[in-house]
């Protein structure tokens, strides 16, 4: 089976390397030559493409791209890759996009006789590199079952949520909660500083109360050490929160808490922290 992988960033690169480590025939493409070089360095079964169109003959194509417009520009339309792929192939997207874009992708793939799976991811680059990345899959059950062994190569555990729209909706909801929680955590840490509580002790004590959270456990120590290195950047966090709020609006629900948190990520981006980790929201609170 021949695999294609488009998008070798912090998340996609790790998944593509897992395929190569497993000895799979993988053709990769990214606009960044260094990302390609890093990915091909892990094994001998990978090769580079000069453009996305070169992946048209693959049996399975993955995409991991930043924004819905990047996915649409790469995959849809007369020049999009879906128009060039062979019937019976499978397209798997692991990006974080919105349910409306999911419908477009699913419909375009189905019209060409191509299977489609939405497979957004649950954690960060470190888990992606070790094939310990939770995968939330959505699409037709027969396509999911056909691709399950492949998905288990790039990440684990793998969950099936039903339709592609449900998979993307879940990921957006997860990030809405996570990023809002992070903003509240940053605010709490600032108030603790005002109260004169030693910051390390503050975090240790919070972890033993109802204030404990993934963000406290993971990003709390980074904040404590002034570590704002980009694992999941402010700009990407803001993109996901915006998509989530728009999704909720489409369904007639006003995501008030998330919209409030979104304002602080917007401030962080405007103040030049776009390419720092999303924990940089601490700097603007």
Pick from 52, 1, 56, 49: nearest CA to 25: 1
In contact, 189 and 246? CB cutoff 8 Å: no
In contact, 64 and 11? CB cutoff 8 Å: yes
Tokens (6 digits) for 72: 């649409």
User: 17: buried, middle or exposed (CB in 10 Å: 19+, 13-18, 0-12)?
Assistant: buried
Q: Does residue 171 have an active-site annotation? A: yes
Tokens (6 digits) for 98: 């919105």
Options 104, 140, 141, 171, the catalytic residue = 171
Tokens (6 digits) for 144: 């999911």
Sign, Cα dihedral of 229, 233, 235, 238:
negative
Identify the three-state secondary structure at position 61. Answer: strand
Q: Please identify which residue in the block is written with the tokens 């094939």.
A: 131
* Active site residue ranges: 171
């Amino acid at each position: 089976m021949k695999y294609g992988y488009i998008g070798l960033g912090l998340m996609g690169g790790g998944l593509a390397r897992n395929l190569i480590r497993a000895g799979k025939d993988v053709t990769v493409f990214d606009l960044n030559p260094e990302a390609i070089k890093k990915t091909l360095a892990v094994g001998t079964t990978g090769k580079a493409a000069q453009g996305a169109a070169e992946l048209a003959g693959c049996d399975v194509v993955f995409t991991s791209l930043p924004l819905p417009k990047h996915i649409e520009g790469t995959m849809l339309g007369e020049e999009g890759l879906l128009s060039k792929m062979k019937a019976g192939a499978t397209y798997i997207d692991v990006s974080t996009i919105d349910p409306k874009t999911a419908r477009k992708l699913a419909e375009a793939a189905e019209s060409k006789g191509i299977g489609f799976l939405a497979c957004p991811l649950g954690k960060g680059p470190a888990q992606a590199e070790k094939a310990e990345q939770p995968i939330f899959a959505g699409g037709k059950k027969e396509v999911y079952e056909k691709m399950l062994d492949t998905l288990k190569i790039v990440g684990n555990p793998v969950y099936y949520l039903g339709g592609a729209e449900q998979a993307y909706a879940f990921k957006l909801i997860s990030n809405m909660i996570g990023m809002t929680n992070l903003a509240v955590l940053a605010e709490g840490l600032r108030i603790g500083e005002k109260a004169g509580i030693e910051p390390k002790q503050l975090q240790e004590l919070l972890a033993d109360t109802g204030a404990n959270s993934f963000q406290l456990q993971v990003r709390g120590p980074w904040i404590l050490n002034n570590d704002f290195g980009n694992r999941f950047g402010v700009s990407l966090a803001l993109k996901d929160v915006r998509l989530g709020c728009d999704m909720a609006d489409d369904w007639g629900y006003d995501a008030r808490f998330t919209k409030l948190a979104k304002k602080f990520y917007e401030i962080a981006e405007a103040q030049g922290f776009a390419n720092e980790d999303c924990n940089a929201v601490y700097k603007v609170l």
